[in-house]
Amino acid sequence: MAIGKIIAGGAALFAVGEYGAATYFFRRTMIRNHAKVDRTRKMAGTEWDQYIPKIHEAKEWLMEQKHEEVWVKSRDGLRLFGTHFPCEGSKKAVICFHGYTSMGLNDYSTLAKFYLEQGFHLLIVDERAHGKSEGTYIGFGCLDRYDAKVWIDYLIRRLGENCEILLHGDSMGASTVLMTTGLKLPKQVKAAVSDCAFTSAWEVFQSVLKHMYHLPPFPLLSIADRMVKRKAGYGLDECNARNEVKKATIPILFIHGENDTFVPCNMVYELYQACASEKKLLVIKGAGHVESCYKETEQYEEAIKSFIIPRFQGGKLDDEDTKRK
């Protein structure tokens, strides 16, 4: 009897301990302002200090270009923020989705010049619970894919029915893009670029717990998953990019850093193999998480130019479109 009480007591303490750990995990990963950018950078395994001067210089240049702050409302009532950099006379546009704990202008200042030079309107957005966008709980692509659809519809209204749209995402933004390809998309969406996407929040957390913190994912993730469902309204594996790209109909360029310690490089091979649409894979040797664009800039941009950009016709705004704007 005494032994039974001890075992029961031990089990109760274990359960309390696991619940406490799951609560801590939930708060520091899923809630705005508790998820810290410095912590994310450490997990990414990329030496960002070497690129910071270039990023700052690019951002200064970008903010000198003509731009406009724009807002849309998500299907659950959040105000979502974006910055639109116009390319006069063009019907091509790219929507850029940033990574976990970042903001749009932080992730895309360097690549922005490339897209503007290629004749694309540039729409850089802050995903929900990031930057200037509203929201308490981070969506990890599962919720953000519906926000992406809102941004797509916004651009079609703004640029006209004959516009052509490219989706570009890195890290969580890349998963957002891939999960979006599983939705029924307007004909104006022509292609997508995915840089260091994870398959699902569950699987990337499982990897982080195992390889970085040397902790078993069970039962911590199961408990955290129930918390996310109750508070944020979705499950950690409810939307898996591996399953969504099986429904993709647009061409997708998959990019990943070979030395990514945050989102394991094996995930890009899984995503690439599962993709049902036309596709191309670029793995950059020696690159960490979302480092490819900086480490091998010429190779990165050439891959986009050769696979993606030829699929866009562009064209001039007609009188009817000008009136619509």
pLDDT at 141: 98
154 domain residue, yes or no: yes
60 domain residue, yes or no: yes
213 domain residue, yes or no: no
pLDDT at 16: 47
Per cent of the chain over pLDDT 90 is 81
Tell me the sheet residues that pair with 125: 82, 97
Under 8 Å between Cβ of 243 and 274: yes
Under 8 Å between Cβ of 217 and 205: yes
Q: How many domains does the chain have?
A: 1
Instruction: Supply φ then ψ for residue 231, to 5 degrees.
Output: -95, -45
How many Cβ atoms from other residues are within 10 Å of residue 47's Cβ?
Answer: 10
13 domain residue, yes or no: no
Instruction: Round the average pLDDT of the chain to a whole number and report it.
Output: 90
232 domain residue, yes or no: no
97 domain residue, yes or no: yes
Here the tokens at position 297 are 């800039």
Dihedral Cα 313, 174, 265, 271, nearest 10 deg = -70
119 domain residue, yes or no: yes
CATH code, 276: 3.40.50.1820
37 domain residue, yes or no: yes
DSSP collapsed to 3 states, the chain: CHHHHHHHHHHHHHHHHHHHHHHHHHHHHHECCCCCHHHHHHHHCCCHHHCHHHHHHHHHHHHHCCCEEEEEECCCCCEEEEEEECCCCCCEEEEEECCCCCCHHHHHHHHHHHHHHCCCEEEEECCCCCCCCCCCECCCCCCHHHHHHHHHHHHHHHHCCCCEEEEEEECHHHHHHHHHCCCCCCCCEEEEEEECCCCCHHHHHHHHHHHCCCCCCCCHHHHHHHHHHHHCCCCCCCCCHHHHHHHCCCCEEEEEECCCCCCCCHHHHHHHHHCCCCEEEEEECCCCCCCHHHHCHHHHHHHHHHHCHHHCCCCCCCHHHHHHC
pLDDT at 35: 80
For residue 93, give its domain range. Answer: 31-200+239-324
- pLDDT by position in tens, the chain (length 325): 444 433 333 333 334 468 899 999 899 999 998 787 776 767 766 788 899 999 999 999 999 999 999 999 999 999 999 999 999 999 999 999 999 999 999 999 999 999 999 999 999 999 999 999 999 999 999 999 999 999 999 999 999 999 999 999 999 999 999 999 999 999 999 999 999 999 999 999 999 999 887 888 889 999 999 999 999 999 999 999 999 999 999 999 999 999 999 999 999 999 999 999 999 999 999 999 999 999 999 999 999 999 999 999 864 434 444 333 3
